[in-house]
Amino acid sequence: MTIQSVARPTLDQETLAELYQLHGGYLLRALLRVTNGDRGKAEDILQETLLRAWQHPEAFARGVEQSRPWLFTVARRIAIDQFRMAAARAQEVAGDALEDRPLAEDPYEAVLAGRDIAVALENLQPHHREVLVELHLKDRSVVEAAARLGVPPGTVKSRNFYAIRALRPFLAGQPEYAPARGAAA
């Protein structure tokens, strides 16, 4: 009598790539917070999460767009398991200097966010861009921004409104900034 192994169905490569593209950045940012900025651990947990996604294609029956809660639940459970395993082991004493430890905040994320902001601002008219920079990037009040730009405060408010309105279509075309489907506007 021979034992035959039955191959379990797995997620196809294109769907897995789409899953990573849609949700990978969000998962990694959340995992960086959970791991106190340890990018290596966060990436390990993300990789294990995607492996579980690949092994369980039935979890994506409603589509990859709707799978973020499932992915976050799996990632959270993997992180908890890793923390429990680390707590059960004897503590290792390392001679690492404090400056060799990773930062809690990832400077790479700040660079990417800055690039994204610059690209988004390039799509605006100069007078709208000036108002957004003064109000939101330089954190000035409406009155301060009006004084610096030499326009009335009402004009600053109006330009801010129309600048944000002009950014919405651009940001909606960006997968990492697009609002979730079915979310209230």
pLDDT of amino acid 13: 85
- Say if residue 48's pLDDT is above 50: yes
pLDDT per residue over 108-150, tens digit each? 777 777 788 888 888 889 999 999 999 988 999 999 999 999 9
- The residue behind tokens 């799509």 is 123
Domain 13-89, CATH number (from 1.10.1740, 1.10.3470, 2.30.29, 1.10.10) = 1.10.1740
The domains of the chain are located at: 13-89, 106-172
In whole angstroms, what is the distance from residue 128 CA to residue 119 CA? 14
- Say if residue 5's pLDDT is above 70: no
In whole angstroms, what is the distance from residue 31 CA to residue 38 CA? 9
pLDDT of amino acid 185: 45
pLDDT of amino acid 65: 83
What is the three-class DSSP state of 82?
helix
pLDDT per residue over 69-104, tens digit each? 889 999 999 999 988 888 887 766 666 565 666 656
- Say if residue 41's pLDDT is above 70: yes
pTM above 0.75, yes or no: no
Q: Binning pLDDT at 50, 70 and 90, where does residue 155 land? A: very high
* Average pLDDT of span 153-158: 94
The CATH topology of domain 106-172 is Arc Repressor Mutant, subunit A (1.10.10)
DSSP classification of residue 102: P
Q: Are 57 and 11 in contact (CB under 8 A)?
A: yes
In whole angstroms, what is the distance from residue 34 CA to residue 52 CA? 19
